Amino acid sequence: MSHSITVLKSKLHNAKVTHALKDYEGSVALSPELIKLGKFSMHEQVHLWNITQGTRLITYIMEYDGDEKGTICVNGAAAHRANPGDRVILATFAEIDSEKADNWEPHIVIMNEDNTQKE
């Protein structure tokens, strides 16, 4: 019998937080090339798992308003759980039909120290 299941859609693994702004409307702001690299969508729910601190939170993605590449800016209340230099995993999920699960392949990108894709 077919039913919907939640699967990992995409993730940036071992990325580095570059900014944390507590006095800001909540979310995580990513530079445009990271949004594209992760195959994320604007305002998409994202899980932020902090490898350095061992914390997890859920927020949404917005585009970073600046010119710097490789930016991951944790904002608002979430900034209490992430500091610049912390290593994180950013993960998004999708609902799919259970019959497609055996052939599902999430988009996974392992990151370098400078928030570029590891080859």
Catalytically active residues, by annotation: 27, 60
What is the C-alpha separation between 98 and 12, in angstroms, rounded? Answer: 24
- Cβ proximity of 64 and 73 under 8 Å: yes
36 residue type, one letter: K
**Tokens coding 101:** 């699960």
Residues forming beta bridges with residue 96, ordered by sequence position:
5
- Cβ proximity of 48 and 56 under 8 Å: yes
What are the strands, taking DSSP E only, across the chain?
4-16, 19-21, 27-30, 45-50, 55-63, 72-75, 87-97, 107-110
